[in-house]
Structure 1
Amino acid sequence: MKTYKIASIPGDGIGKEVIPEGEKILAALEKRFPQMKFDFERFDWGGDYYRKHGIMMPEDGLNHLRNKDAILFGSAGDPKIADHITLWGLRLKICQGFDQYANIRPTRILPGIQTPLRNCQPEDLNWMIVRENSEGEYSGLGGRAHQGHPIEVASDISIMTRVGVERIQRFAFAIARSRPRKKLTLITKSNAQRHAMVMWDEIACEVARDFPDVQWDKELVDAATARMINKPSSLDTIVASNLHADVLSDLAAALAGSLGIAPTGNIDPQRRYPSMFEPIHGSAFDIMGQGLANPIGTFWSIVLMLDHLGENEASKLLMQAIEGVTANPILHTRDLGGQAKMIDVSNAVIKAIHS
């Protein structure tokens, strides 16, 4: 039997609701696949921890996570705490601390879910968005001076290194190669950002030589938003900088039906540290405690986690269970236009796992 040590960090808002449901799903998979077991350790880090201790997680928090096989994360965000404190104090502290430089966000139209796009068939929208997750526009460098005075100044500095750019582009080309269409679109803004983004483009040309079987093209980020809406079938694997992919992946989730169903993985491809898996929907305090959260984003994130752990059979079964549940409109939560509660969806997925 293989035992996986999983750090469970519900975080804030509906993260406290969907992550326990995710643990139930993994417990159900344990029964179906007795050769694997999940050993959870839950961490109460987040907004409530901040109110008690003045920090979102302990200073030595990374040491508590270092020996885990994976991290299951809920959300970071609290209306009573500034967003930059919640994000940099927890989620980004983990991502950067463990050099989880590759963020993956699969996007497709699941059975039974309607896209807001006209005349778009499910096979037209099937993307893998690869986001550079460690530097770029979210490097954290910059500062403020003369605060409160008319001469106040603030700066955020985007940092791109050759190492950082090349490794994320190689990762994206490799993913494109593994997918049936073998197609990659590089997102850029090198017409206006004439230094770092020009280097980004140049490195892509170099990396592409090692992937002659991958067809690739380049698209300006603003044009990419229109292309995602008007020509979704022209895209397959997409690679973009930290900020660009952050925006485009939320657009992608909305086009696929809802942010509530969208998963993501923060990956250390070299497996030096644990990778972290999370739904992208945020803390959603407006529906917290009402049982209205959509757990599908968490369950799909667990699919990514299982793939990362090499449990492909369990991953495939869970994805089939998810698709069977979304195909039934009675099991659609409010974000999908339905009336189902979170527990209804969870129970249906568990039932499908055991059937």
Structure 2
Amino acid sequence: MQHYSVAVIPGDGIGPEVMQEGLKVLEAIENIHGGLRFACDQFDWNCNYYLRHGRMMPENGLNILKDYDVILLGSIGAKEVPDHISVWELILPIRRAFQQYVNLRPIKLLRGLESPLRNKGYEDLDFVVVRENTEGEYSNMGGRLHEGTPYELAVQNNVFTRHGIERVVKYAYSLAKRRRKKRVTAATKSNGINHSMPFWDEIVKEIATEHPEIETNVYHIDALSAYFITKPEEFDVVVASNLFGDILTDLGAAIGGGLGLAPSGNINPERIYPSMFEPIHGSAPDIAGKGIANPIAQIWSISLMLEHLQQMEMSQLILQGIEEVLCEGKVRTADLGGNASTIEMGEEITKRILREHGMSCGRF
């Protein structure tokens, strides 16, 4: 029997709604695979917690999380708490303390859906973005001076280290070795950012020479964004700095059908610390509590979690269940042109996963 401990942080807005459906899928996986067990502990660390306690998680929150195998996050953010507090006091400390330096985001058009891009199908939209996740443009260095005066200024420093760049680029190449196209594309802006980006490019070139079997391309971020639209079929593994990767993956989610579908993993490849898996759609306060959020991104994030835990068959089973429900087309949430609720969508996916194994759907 293989046991995994899972720290569950449902978070804010639609987070608890989609997390509920994700945990149903995880329970279904336990029923299918008799040798897997997931011990899930839920934590109410969110913006409401901040309003009650003045902090996004307890002072010893990271110490609480460090011994879990993995972390499942729903979403974080509420209008009552500024984003620079909710993100910088919960998500970013977890990513940095646990050396989750790879933000892994698949850009994939699921079967049963159509891309907003004309004449682009499933074979065209199937790549992955590796985003550097702990430094770069999101470094907490800088400050403000002369606040409230005509001379007020703000300084934000970008931090790029050889160690940080090398490890994320090496991960991208190791991933490309296992993929069909064996191609790495690096995002840069060395024609406009004249210190950090040439440094990034130099290290990419150094590592590329160690992998002659992998095709390497380097594109400026503006051109690369355009190529995501005009020729997405060219990409296999895209590696980018923190900010560039963040922007590219939202664009990638859009061409794949929308943010409600997009999962992500915050990975510590060495497995010294827990990795964290989450949808990228945010807390969506405009639809929170209405029961209409799409749970697919959260469920797909659990598929990524199982892949990280080297449970490949179960990971693929979840993705297959999602795609079969989409192909059937009878149950869809509003963002996909249907009228199904979050619960109806989640339970239909769960039923499909169980049905494929000839199991009773039980309470689902």
User: Is TM more than 0.5 here?
Assistant: yes
State the alpha-carbon separation in 2 of the partners of residues 325 and 76 from structure 1: 28
Q: Which residue in 2 is equivalent to 1:169?
A: 169
Q: Which residue in 2 is equivalent to 1:253?
A: 253
State the alpha-carbon separation in 2 of the partners of residues 119 and 346 from structure 1: 30
SS at match of 2:198: helix
Q: What displacement does 1:176 show? A: 1.1
Structure 2 regions of 5+ residues with no counterpart?
356-364
Q: Is the 8 A contact 1:330 1:339 kept in 2?
A: no
Q: Which residue in 2 is equivalent to 1:220?
A: 220
> Which amino acid in the other structure matches residue 304 of structure 1?
L
| 1:82 and 2:82 are equivalent in the alignment | yes
| 1:152 and 2:134 are equivalent in the alignment | no
> Which amino acid in the other structure matches residue 329 of structure 2?
P
State the alpha-carbon separation in 1 of the partners of residues 183 and 191 from structure 2: 23
Q: Which residue in 2 is equivalent to 1:61?
A: 61
Q: Which residue in 1 is equivalent to 2:317?
A: 317
SS at match of 2:123: helix
Q: Which residue in 2 is equivalent to 1:44?
A: 44
State the alpha-carbon separation in 2 of the partners of residues 32 and 170 from structure 1: 36
> Which amino acid in the other structure matches residue 257 of structure 1?
G
State the alpha-carbon separation in 2 of the partners of residues 167 and 155 from structure 1: 27
Q: How does 1:9-20 map to 2 (within 5 A)?
A: 9-20=9-20
> Which amino acid in the other structure matches residue 43 of structure 2?
F
RMSD: 0.8
Q: What displacement does 1:225 show? A: 1.0
SS at match of 2:139: strand
State the alpha-carbon separation in 2 of the partners of residues 57 and 146 from structure 1: 31
Aligned residue pair count: 355
SS at match of 1:104: strand
Q: Which residue in 2 is equivalent to 1:110?
A: 110
SS at match of 1:123: coil
Q: What displacement does 1:328 show? A: 2.6
Q: Is the 8 A contact 2:21 2:347 kept in 1?
A: no
Q: Which residue in 1 is equivalent to 2:139?
A: 139
Q: Is the 8 A contact 2:114 2:121 kept in 1?
A: no
State the alpha-carbon separation in 2 of the partners of residues 76 and 119 from structure 1: 35
Q: Which residue in 1 is equivalent to 2:350?
A: 350
Q: Which residue in 2 is equivalent to 1:27?
A: 27
The one-character-per-residue Cα deviations of 1:311-330 (angstroms, maximum 9, x if unpaired) are 11111111111111121322
Q: Which residue in 1 is equivalent to 2:359?
A: none
Q: Is the 8 A contact 1:184 1:237 kept in 2?
A: yes
| 1:99 and 2:99 are equivalent in the alignment | yes
The one-character-per-residue Cα deviations of 1:25-64 (angstroms, maximum 9, x if unpaired) are 1111100001000000100001010010000111110111
4+ runs of 1 displaced by more than 3 Å? none
State the alpha-carbon separation in 2 of the partners of residues 260 and 184 from structure 1: 27
SS at match of 1:124: coil
Q: Is the 8 A contact 1:287 1:293 kept in 2?
A: yes
State the alpha-carbon separation in 2 of the partners of residues 279 and 145 from structure 1: 36
Structure 1 regions of 5+ residues with no counterpart?
none
State the alpha-carbon separation in 2 of the partners of residues 148 and 114 from structure 1: 50
Q: Which residue in 1 is equivalent to 2:189?
A: 189
SS at match of 1:78: coil
Q: Is the 8 A contact 1:277 1:305 kept in 2?
A: yes
SS at match of 2:137: strand
State the alpha-carbon separation in 2 of the partners of residues 342 and 244 from structure 1: 31
Q: What is the TM-score of this pair, normalised by structure 2?
A: 0.96
Q: Is the 8 A contact 2:182 2:214 kept in 1?
A: yes
Q: Which residue in 1 is equivalent to 2:199?
A: 199
Q: What displacement does 1:353 show? A: 1.5
SS at match of 1:91: helix
